[in-house]
Chains A and B, each alone.
Chain A
Amino acid sequence: MIARLRTEHAPTLLVATLAAAFGVALLQVTGYLGSAMRADDVTGSSATAALMLAIVAWVFIVIAVYVSGVVTANTVATVVAGRTRQIALLRLLGSTARAQRGAIAREGLAVGAVGAALGLVVGTLVAIGLAEWAAVADVLPRVDHVWADPAVLPPVIVAVLTTWLAAWAGSRRVLAVRPSEALGNAAARSQEELTARRGRTATAATLAAFGTLLLLIGVALGLVTPLGVLVGLVGGVLSFTGIVLGAHAVMPPILRVVGRALGTSPPARLAAENAVRHPERSSRMTIGLVIGVTLVTMFAVAMESYRDLLLAATEDRPDLRVGIEQTVSATVAVFGILIGFSGLIAAVGLVNTLSLSVLQRTRELGLLRALGFERRQLRAMVLAESAALTAAATVTGIVLGTFYGWAGAQAMLGSVQGIPLVVAPSIPWGVIAVLVVAAGVLTLIASLAPSRRATTVSPVAALAIE
């Protein structure tokens, strides 16, 4: 039991550690930069620069924490789905649904606390390492800095609370587990759940439609004032929340198309079916990655459009261009790394949920083995399923990110030259190439643990009675 809990919570622990470490490292680095600036005569008095740094740092921390929250909620939901029988049994023996859910949330709190504490240590060590490197490489002068700074604690606390909250949100299905499921075989979906799903789809569609409308208004406003970006931002957040909420309706059609591309061999066909037939499961697995890829692409497209616009505006001033090119490239690189971290957390989430959900299907894998699926075919099926999910998430993220990135650039930059200007979206092919390669690697990593299970599962497992 303890061992099982440990493996089940390892993914959540990793995500909490990553999010907290990212926040701590970022704040430590900006704190160190603040110390460096104070030591420097020129910028010494500039409180504005320090404030700007803090704001930028927090924007990325909030994004990373948000992604980690979504990932954790989905991981917990996957864990709960795998524990349905056990929860039903405890319910049957007289435990309340609230108590069951509370237990899962408490597990989340404990895992979040441990992860965040680890993150505090790791993040601080990374920041110290960076400072050492900067001093040795002569990028920054060595300055006195107190690393034990209470100012870096907020991301730690936020990581704990997010994990707790995400565990609570992800364990919603516990309430729908009926005690009788401990006896029966088929986990039939109850009528209430279907109704709830319909309500969720309606909310999601409304949010997406309203958000897109606001976003377009923001884009139109952006033609006359840069403040249009604020309206667009609200619209973007709303419409994207709608998409995330309605993932169970958005992802299956995309998965269906991707699944067809897998081919017609039996493993590929079964993999495609698996990815499509359980919308909740596949949206749980993919949505974190969709968010991550969307964010990365959005930032990249917006920055690329900004850069192209600047370069076009300074076409006749080659002396300025070199400076702008350098500054913008450096900014793109830094932002790319910062936002890429959220992408990494999302990737960890996909690996976790896919592994967990395949591991939970031991019986199904055993059945396929008993009915005559070879080990090789089972491995191919797992790999194809992993590929379908990753590809669908990556493509969706790139399309959404390109749209949001363009909308952001248009709303912010449409009025900078005094006359309304249509900003063409610039596609950062380098970033897209990196995303596609990363998706390929992710597919392989995500299918490692499950395909090992697939080769060791005994066909007798399918005949055993739980």
Chain B
Amino acid sequence: MEIQPSDLGLVARVAGLGKRYGTGAGAVAALENVSLGLRRGEFTAIMGPSGSGKSTLMHIMAGLDSPTAGRVWLGDTDITHLPDGALTVLRRRRVGFVFQAFNLVPTLDVLGNVMLPFELDGRRPSGEERAVVDALVERLGLGERLRHRPHELSGGQQQRVAIARALATRPDLVFADEPTGNLDSRTGREVLAILADASRAHGQSIAMVTHDPIAASHADRIVFLADGRIVRDTQRTSAEEIATYMLSMERAA
């Protein structure tokens, strides 16, 4: 019997992953032979300079893009060759997203945006799910603003709404793509604290792509990518140490 990712305590896994754009001599490799397992309940940061392949890796792990080599699992599901329809349903039920540009639906109010994953799934949340959402809204300080539209909120508030939306369905994995990229440093720290709390206090698995050492220092584990390969994999460490390592990577390049 094959060993399942969950047997290893993993929530997502890629093996021998490769992604090439174009064909022949002009082909560009965004990822080369990347193998990585994300542990359940952990807050993982994926770091690297621009063009290191970190966004491509996240897109593939989240079922938004397909690899040209290797295999991808989300939970115990091998999603490598899953057709679009099945991938869509999988994203809807088991993945949450937080984007740099917040990406709230401008026509929906705060509550509408938070409930969107249920709406897209064509169902009403169960009583238990509704309680989770209510607690989430309280915890993120959105209680007063449920009827506001995104353009009436500050950037930090918008990102809280996006986080609430991502956590609402208690997905297997939340992907955060530069979640603090559009925020000032104080608001950014608050957002990172919220993500870290969701992971530590509520067991939420989170994968965050970033190139900001301070953001990465909030994570339990940091994976460094350069030129489409994993070059380092460490436990939680200080922003200074991360920055120093990033600088040394830049110099070596």
Contact = CB atoms under 8 A, between A and B. Distances in A.
Do A and B belong to a common assembly?
A: yes
Interface of A: 185-189, 265-266, 269-270, 273-274, 277-278, 363-364, 367-377, 458-460, 462-463, 465-466
A200 to B, nearest CB: 20
Interface string B39-78: 0000000000000000100010010110000000000000
Given A273-B112, A374-B89, 14 more contacts: A185-B182, A188-B152, A266-B119, A266-B121, A270-B119, A277-B149, A364-B105, A364-B106, A367-B105, A371-B92, A372-B88, A374-B88, A458-B64, A459-B91
B214 to A, nearest CB: 20
Nearest to A183: B182
Given A186-B151, A266-B119, A370 B91 contact: yes
A127 to B, nearest CB: 47
A373 B65 contact: no
15 contacts: A186-B150, A270-B119, A273-B108, A273-B112, A367-B105, A370-B62, A371-B92, A371-B120, A372-B89, A374-B88, A376-B85, A460-B59, A460-B65, A463-B59, A465-B101
A188 B112 CA distance: 18
B107 to A, nearest CB: 4
B237 interface: no
B91 to A, nearest CB: 5
Contacts of A187: 106, 151
* Residue of B91, B106, B182 with most chain A CB atoms under a 10 A cut-off: B106
B210 interface: no
A188 B151 contact: yes
Contacts of A186: 106, 150-151, 153, 158
B224 interface: no
B152 A463 contact: no
B120 A373 contact: yes
Contacts of A265: 122
Contacts of B89: 372, 374
A277 B108 CA distance: 8
A89 B246 CA distance: 32
Contacts of B90: 372
Interface in B97-150: 97, 99-103, 105-108, 112, 116-117, 119-122, 149-150
* Residue of A278, A371, A460 with most chain B CB atoms under a 10 A cut-off: A371
A372 B91 contact: yes
Given A370-B91, A372-B88, A374-B89, A269 B119 contact: yes
B189 interface: no
B84 A375 contact: yes
A84 B101 CA distance: 17
Nearest to B152: A188
Given A273-B107, A364-B105, A463-B59, A371 B97 contact: yes
B155 interface: yes
B93 interface: yes
A274 B105 CA distance: 10
A271 B69 CA distance: 39
B172 interface: no
B116 A185 contact: no
A170 B143 CA distance: 39
